[in-house]
Amino acid sequence: MTSPDVFGKALAIWLAAELKQRGIQANYPIAEDLGWFIPVNIKPYRLSIACANVDGAIDKWQVLAFLEDWLTGPRFDRDNRVETLQALFEVIEKTLQQAPMLSDLQSLGS
């Protein structure tokens, strides 16, 4: 369950569906304390996308992507965690940029 002043379920459901159309294995969002998390399967990593409103706002949103097991995850000779996360972020960013109902998008880093 999310905290009382945290919103983002509709955004998370929409984004998960859009990502699936783009070939990303995005699962149905789950409620967490700080927002709605979309589990993403990109083997061999476990990633998540978090969707939530900006503190106190009802019309401003934030979307974050992260590796769930970045410290304990699989280790290989060639570790692609950073590249995998960057690729996911780029798909998310492009999806949001192409959404006609969204405006004033800002990227705080990649």
Which pLDDT value is given to residue 98?
93
pLDDT at residue 4 in the model: 75
| Interaxial angle between packed helices 81-97 and 9-21, expressed in degrees from 0 to 180 and rounded to the nearest 10 | 110
Could you give the C-alpha distances from 40 to 27, 45, 83, 91, in angstroms and in order? 6, 9, 15, 12
Give the up-direction half-sphere exposure of residue 44: CA atoms within 13 A in the CB hemisphere. 8
pTM of the complete model = 0.85
CA distance 100 to 4: 29
Give me the mean pLDDT over the 23-42 stretch.
Answer: 94
Percent of the chain with pLDDT over 90: 54
Reported as a single tens digit per residue, the pLDDT across 62-109 is 999 998 765 555 555 557 888 899 999 999 999 999 998 888 888 775
